[in-house]
Amino acid sequence: MPKNVVNPEFLPILEKMPSFDGLSGRSLPEVREIFMTSVRLIEGKPLPDVEVQEEYVPGLKGAPDVRVLVYRPRKRQPNAPAMVYIHGGGLVSGHPEVDDPKCQVLASRMGFVIVSVDYRLAPEVKYPGAIEDCYAALKWMNDNAAQLGINPDKVAVAGESAGGGLSAALALMARDRKEYRLAYQLLIYPMLDDRTATKVDPAPDFGEFVWTRSANKYAWEAYLGSAAGGDDTPAYAAAARAKDLSGLPPTFIGVGSMDLFLCEDLEYARRLMASGVPTEVVVVPGAYHVFDMFVPEAELSRRFMDAYCAGLRRTLGL
């Protein structure tokens, strides 16, 4: 797909971004440095009305404690809405600081108490390490709702890319275990299906920029090993594998028109709607993967955030 299809506001940063193509031929430290080099292009300024605190929460079933960052508006409100936020990075890189600008804006703008999860990465820790760490954060948030000043009935899960995929898996896990309630899932260009680029090759028009087929194949194989793309991938590893999507919380799915995940995201949205789940879908024209993270000031990025913030307000009664 030629670059002239890219929205003009997204072009300048695209020229500066390192490619994730061919990750399988690189060392893991290099993979992670590529990711962090990209992130350094978007450093934001701290917001004075938001405080950030590091915590360590108990892991599940004897797993190590999970590091989280807790974002709170300095002006506290009783029974505040809350959000588990899950960072991207292809399941093999990243940490909560990646989403620091977005989490600060959401805490300030929406009044959320946000718990951003530093889950264990592949390939050092394969499935189910990451999703269990996310569930541990959800458990800690609910168990400490009174101290955090949050309303357990107004807890959303959100994340982008791999974090969007983990958010969808966390919603499935919460539904099935029936221990905690999620009121909303915000899936930002989520990485949902291990068959994309491992077993099913998307049309060549998708995934040319930023997160490519080879990067996706590397990431899923790092997380699932030889099982990636096979017949037995569990739904808590790749949410698109879930056979039953009924009973999930209201959902927002947003993705760029040039994103590798476009087809799997639209199919997941279709299946959610067919299962009776209230679902809003936004496709951003001329947008590649993580467009809003790297060009947050672009008009389409602002409209994108406005859309999902409106969905959160409407559903949570904010």
Query: Which residues form the catalytic set?
Result: 161, 259, 289
CB-based contact 142:243 (threshold 8 Å): no
As a whole number of angstroms, the distance between CA 306 and CA 163 comes to: 20
- Residue 141's H or E segment, with its range, is helix 129-143
Phi and psi based region of residue 251 (left: phi greater than 0; alpha: psi -120 to 50; beta: remaining): beta
Task: Please state at what angle helix 299-316 crosses helix 100-110, rounded to 10 degrees.
Answer: 50
Phi, psi of 134 (to 5 degrees): -65, -40
Report CA dihedral (283, 289, 294, 300) to the nearest 10 degrees. Answer: -10
Paired residues of 158 in beta bridges: 85, 186
Rg (CA), the chain: 18
User: How would DSSP label each residue in 12-42?
Assistant: HHHHHSPP-TTGGGS-HHHHHHHHHHHHGGG
- Under 8 Å between Cβ of 290 and 238: no
Give the CA angle between residues 293, 296, 298 to the nearest 5°.
130
Of all residues in the chain, what percent are helix, strand and coil, respectively (each to 5)? Answer: 45, 20, 40
